Chains A and B, each alone.
Chain A
Amino acid sequence: MSELLVLVDHSGGQPRKISLQLLAAARAVAGDLGVDVAAVWLGPGAADAAGVLGAHGAARVHHWDDADAKGFVTVPQVEALEQLVAAVAPAGVLFASSNHVKDVAARLAVRVGGGVITDATGLAVDGGALVATKEVFGGDVITTSRVADGALPIVGIASNAFAAEEVGGAPAELVPFDVTLSDAARTAPVTDVVQQASADRPDIAEAAIVVSGGRGLGDASGFSLLEQLADLLGGGVGASRAATDAGWYPHRYQIGQTGRTISPTLYLGAGISGAIQHRAGMQTSQYVVAVNKDPEAPIFQIADFGVVGDLHQVVPKLIAALEARRG
């Protein structure tokens, strides 16, 4: 049976949360496509992950057990996938729409004559072909798209669009493959890996709940309040450009048209007016909560629940109530 390949994005030997969501996306269409779901693991560590990948529906995991996969920028992974695609002739490849993985997809598509769709929030099968739903122009427009006949579909899935689910499968069968790397694949080495994100706090791209702060926080210390709230909710912390430009919070957490695009289940904005440039990065969130002292703030136009009030009063009360609830 032909396969739908799921490129596993992994870190520290563990599949990242998005990878289990990718397997859920693959399962949703595998029946209609008439294919098996097979994971692809590039780099060491597949054997330890076979259990969780199988539990989430991967029949097997093609793995290339070589540290070069992540030891050099992008191209080793592209060459590995190019050679795997040639060997197994898959029905398609699903990937995580995260920074570095998009590069792998783009370079792979050039090499194998594939068509790439990124950031899909829905998948369906129509006339035997994959059809993807996605949101463009900062979430203003919703499109469906497909890959042209004869081109390999290479489809990136947005975070939180599919719910990861254990379906009780046996450990994925381990299928090793060999890769012949070109000299060009080893020209750009990774010399250091710096972990900046808090180990306990999820990144805003994959967090189900994101607490976000803006100019209304007043200063950098306001973010420690938001971190406290986020940690109680198991969420991530983001910021508006006004806050990152002011140096109150690192740029990497900026949500908006020049920064990150997120689609959590719950977005909670505190002291954020909701200018269109910020909304372009978060308006596809499932639920939006806003706390702002200005009743005219545009964020209230898209808020499911709004509190007109001083965040310095409301947020500490919310934290206290959550702590009391927890007991």
Chain B
Amino acid sequence: MRIVIPVKWVPDTAGEKQIDPDRLTVDRTSVASVLCPVNEFAIEEAMRIKEAHGDDVETVVLIVGPEEAGPTAAKALSYGLDRAVRVTDDAVAGSDALGTAQVLAAAVRTIGFDVVLFGNQSTDARTSLVPAAVAELLGVPSITYARRLEIADGALTADREHEEGWDTVTSPLPAVVSVVEAINEPRFPSFKGIMAAKSKPSDVWDLSQLDGLDSGLVGADAARAVVTSAAPRPPKAAGTVVTDDGSGAAADALLDWMAEKKFV
């Protein structure tokens, strides 16, 4: 069984971001980039499946991004995944979520897969569109928002979280899965894992090496969702701060404020 874990190279949430006025997105040279924290839950789940099923499970990390995304793939490998594929091609720049899904689906098809294991969202764009779009392009079920995942005998069972609880579903493999943070508690990479990551197989592909990709559907010109302006959020005006005297009496001032704003 082969599990492909697509990961994303995202701007650090804690970093201050500059907007590139020409491309209307964050200038990636202005802010440190990291492995998307939500991917850690997918990596952990892949490791648990591998540990439960033994050596016949291969785990492949997949990343689409420029050369600078290389260390992010290495970070993913340091958790114990087997090998990495990085797709690097200038033609990918400016893709929307559906264009990115085209590249990921073609790369997954080229690698070959039983399970594709995503995080349910990225911390930067947070559209959550990519896993389902990849599933559609691959023609397989999209078992997203999984808070529990079990794989046995060529099929899976999952609990898919929604606003009111969850749906338990079953699906044959191959399938695309995305996981939410309730699913597990990610491990930290070990020193051994970090050292081993350096010698694990890592391929770098361009778009011409991907099976069945229509490159006309990729990149800024193909984007069907087009950003027309981008601006930093205006800073918020300072609010009222009261200091309680230790008795809780400040609750009255808070209640007055809430009444003034018509919340009570």
Residue pair A310, B37 in contact (C-beta under 8 Å): no
Query: Could you list 22 examples of A-B contacts with CB < 8 Å?
Result: A73-B143, A99-B160, A100-B160, A102-B132, A105-B129, A106-B132, A107-B133, A116-B97, A139-B233, A147-B224, A147-B226, A189-B170, A203-B164, A205-B163, A257-B37, A258-B41, A277-B37, A280-B13, A287-B263, A288-B239, A300-B239, A314-B248
Most B C-beta atoms less than 10 A away, residue of A139, A187, A315: A187
Cβ-neighbour of B226 out of A78, A110, A148, A190 (below 8 A):
A148
**Chain B contact residues: helix, strand, loop or mixed:** mixed
Shortest Cβ distance from A217 into chain B, in angstroms? 15
- Contacts known (A118-B127, A250-B182); A107 close to B142, Cβ less than 8 A: yes
Q: Does B223 contact A (CB under 8 A)?
A: yes
Could you give, for residues 21-44 of chain B, a 1 whenever the CB lies within 8 Å of some chain A CB and a 0 otherwise? 000101000000000011001000
Contact yes or no, B232 A310, CB < 8 A: no
Surface stretch bound by A, among B70-78, B187-195, B199-207, B250-258: B250-258
B246 lies within 8 A of A184 (CB):
no
Set of chain A residues within 8 Å of B127, measured between Cβ atoms: 102, 116, 118-119
Q: What number of residue pairs across chains A and B have CB atoms under 8 A from each other?
A: 290
Q: By CB atoms of chain B within 10 A, which of A16, A137, A287, A301 has the most?
A: A137
- CB of B240 within 8 A of CB of A306, answer yes
Q: Would you call A13 an interface residue if the criterion is a C-beta within 8 Å of the partner chain's C-beta atoms?
A: no
User: In this assembly, does B152 line the interface, its C-beta being within 8 Å of a C-beta of chain A?
Assistant: no
- What 8 A-B pairs have minimum CB-CB distances, sorted nearest first? A309-B244, A115-B224, A313-B248, A251-B182, A317-B251, A317-B248, A196-B165, A103-B132
Q: Determine whether the beta carbon of A310 is less than 8 Å from that of B246.
A: yes
Please choose the segment from A23-31, A58-66, A173-181, A318-326 that sits at the chain B interface, where 4 or more of its residues have CB less than 8 A away. A318-326
Q: How far is the CA of A173 from the CA of B171 in the complex (A)?
A: 37
Q: Is the CB of B231 within 8 A of A322?
A: no
**A145 at interface (Cβ–Cβ under 8 A)?**
yes
B19 within 8 A of A: yes
CA–CA, A118 and B41, complex, Å: 23
Q: Is A163 an interface residue (CB 8 A)?
A: no
B163 closest partner in A (C-beta): A203
- Which residues in A have some Cβ–Cβ distance to B below 8 Å? 11, 16, 73-75, 78, 98-100, 102-107, 109-111, 113-119, 131, 135-148, 151, 184, 187-197, 203, 205-206, 209, 233, 245, 250-252, 254, 257-259, 261, 265-266, 276-277, 280, 283, 287-289, 291, 295, 300-310, 313-318, 320-322, 325
Asked whether, in the complex, the Cβ of B144 is within 8 Å of the Cβ of A148, the reply is no
B165 contacts A106, C-beta separation under 8 Å: no
> A144, B244: Cβ atoms under 8 Å?
no
A102 near B248 with CB under 8 A, answer no
B243 & A261 in contact (Cβ 8 Å cutoff): no
Nearest A residue to B172 by beta-carbon distance? A187
Would A144 and B227 count as touching, CB distance under 8 A? yes
Partner of A306, one of B123, B230, B239, B264: B239
Q: Which residues of B contact A302 (CB under 8 A)?
A: 236
Asked whether, in the complex, the Cβ of B250 is within 8 Å of the Cβ of A141, the reply is no
> What residue of chain B has the Cβ atom nearest to residue A155's Cβ?
B225
Q: Nearest chain A CB to B14's CB is how many angstroms away?
A: 5
- Complex interface: chain B residues within 8 A of A289 (CB): 254, 257-258
Whether A116 lies near B231 (C-beta < 8 A) is: no
Contacting pair A115 B225 (CB below 8 A): yes
- Contact A287–B261 (Cβ < 8 Å): yes
